[in-house]
Amino acid sequence: MPTSPISISPTIQPEVRLLPGAEQILAAAAAGSWADLNLYQLKLMAHRLQLVAGFDDLLALDAINFTPFDYQIRAARVVLRQFRGRGLLADEVGLGKTIEAGLVLKEYLLRQMVDRVLILTPPGLVEQWQEELASKYNLTSFVTSSDPEFRARGSAAWETFPRVIASLATARRAEHRTAITALQYDLVIVDEAHHLKNRTSASWQLVNELQKKYILLLTATPVQNKLTELYNLITVLKPGQLKSPKEFSSQFVVRGDPRLPKNRGLLRELLGDVMVRHTRGQISLQLPPRRAHTIRLALNPDEQSLADAIGDTVRRMMEDTEKVSAGHRFGLRILLREVGSSAAATESTLRSLAANKELALYRAELLALAAQAASVQGSAKADALRTLLEAQAKGGTSDKVLIFTQFRATQEMLAAAMTGWGIPFANYHGGLTSGQKDAVIRDFQNDLPVLLSTEAAGEGRNLQFCRAMVNYDLPWNPMRIEQRIGRIHRIGQDRPVDIFNLAAAGSIEDLVLDILDRKLNMFELVIGEVDMILGQMGDERDFEEIILDIWSQAATPQALQEEMEKLGDALVKARSAYQEATEYDEALFGEDFSAE
């Protein structure tokens, strides 16, 4: 049946008129006279910036994957609006200085006010910064100074890559410093900036020499020993704010006591132009307790034989400095960590090392170890995990359990095992798409009792509906362990948190766990304090590298135990120094620098 034509009557009579200057534009187009493209793009950018709201309305809030707290948003606004991009973020540990810095960074990028960015951190935080910028802020363009593509270009990489995350120790090396200081940076961020406390240090001189439009310094303890440390930090931010060193000491430091300030009112007024600080008391932050449980176990004979054989081979390879380079050393470190996880995890790394032409001398030995790993039957850790999960289920609670492993091969092994045990679980890893990750977390929250995850779990996500966590294997880097804990022990958690650590007795991870728990009381610390304590040790090596050096240089198990005990004593001393610095800063600054 034919349809009837539809008659449409316009209800709006459009008005067509030429805007001022339109005649000239049309005439130029007809004549083929075009403006310079670069000039056009500059004018277009200027026009867009005119339409962008002021810093009272942050564009970043609609372009991130989490919800920051009000005080963090206020801090970012203060830095952008009042400090004009040069500020000291000095919140107490665990309150989110990196969140605030990330908001400032994201805002500047969205407004196209910065392009070339340099982020300087302690060695153990480089990868964490890269991961959090990607997961929380959708900033995936940052490379680290340890990325293969960066290292392949040598010192030229600093200019090639406009957005870099590096350790201070790396950046200040002579071969890098010249390249870095020749560049014009739009924004520099320095995490744990108390490492700049000494103006005669190479770190302070590097950051002070950098050509930079904006700069953010992050530290919970701006002053650790004497007031001149504060002067040095502020001078990097805003030269002349506290006048000359001599004038600062004369006006603000009590003669004979470098820790005691005078003219506090004026000093706080001057600091208020560059510093924002929040305390737990101000934001009423109180988290429930967390309890650590260590489950030490004996490896089965197959596993122990493999662990011993790999240990012997790695030790000999590390002594062979002619054939085994620093790059190979990194692979060997991964292999040793995999020994504490599963035989399946070691197999692929052993085959990868065997395929390396530079290690041809060890190829047969590495392939034999890979075959031995493939033949290992059973897993003592997996058995212990099953016992733990079944005990949790019999407890009659609906508590969910988050299980962490560092390695995909271990995750796949556990997934197969848990399927056989009849325990429902969700599987989370970095290879999932964003939508798949959302679905996995949703299933875990609503339906499934267990989440089996690699380190990728929960970056930027709220998992505080879970209160039990299992470290199936343990990173040697305590900040990685702390990062795991922070997935569930965070603002919004209203129940005590239980952390279960699995470790093979006498293994490297067992020794690391022992000093972190017994000496450092790590599982009682506030999230973020571990890094502050490690920073007090004065050793700029990555903590994993410290562990590897101790292990490789110890001739006997007794010598290894003694050296680990010395490391534990150094951690105790560092924690004491950190606590003294914290108390000093609390007394010095009070609660006078919150963002309003």
Give CA–CA dist 18/260, Å, rounded: 70
pLDDT at position 53 is 59
125: how many CB neighbours lie within 10 A of its CB?
A: 23
Q: Which of 454, 453, 441, 516 is nearest to 482 (CA)?
A: 516
User: In one letter, which amino acid is 137?
Assistant: Y
CATH tag for 290-296+379-589 (out of 3.20.20.10, 3.40.50.300, 3.30.70.260, 1.10.645.10): 3.40.50.300
pLDDT at position 205 is 97
For the chain, the 3-state helix, strand and coil shares in percent, each to the nearest 5, are 55, 10, 35
The three-state DSSP-derived secondary structure of 272-298 is: CCCEECCCHHHHCCCCCCEEEEEEEEC
Average pLDDT of the segment spanning 170-188: 96
Res. 5: pLDDT tops 80: no
Q: Which of 197, 281, 241 is nearest to 87 (CA)?
A: 241
Average pLDDT of the segment spanning 84-107: 94
Each domain of the chain, given as residue ranges in start order, spans 69-282, 290-296+379-589, 298-375
CB-based contacts of 169-176 (< 8 A; 24+ apart in sequence): 169/123, 169/540, 170/123, 170/145, 171/118, 171/120, 171/145, 171/206, 172/202, 172/203, 172/206, 176/145
69-282 falls under which CATH superfamily?
Tandem AAA-ATPase domain (3.40.50.10810)
User: In one letter, which amino acid is 353?
Assistant: L
Which pTM was predicted?
A: 0.74
pLDDT at position 18 is 54
Percent of the chain with pLDDT over 70: 90
Q: Helices marked H in 272-396 — which ranges?
A: 280-283, 301-319, 326-339, 343-354, 363-375, 380-394
> In the Cβ-directed half-sphere of 267, how many Cα atoms lie within 13 Å?
19
Give CA–CA dist 556/558, Å, rounded: 5
pLDDT at position 81 is 93
Res. 117: pLDDT tops 50: yes
Same fold flag, 69-282 and 290-296+379-589: yes
Res. 8: pLDDT tops 50: no
Give CA–CA dist 162/158, Å, rounded: 7
Look at 54 and 497; give whichever has higher pLDDT.
497
pLDDT at position 326 is 76
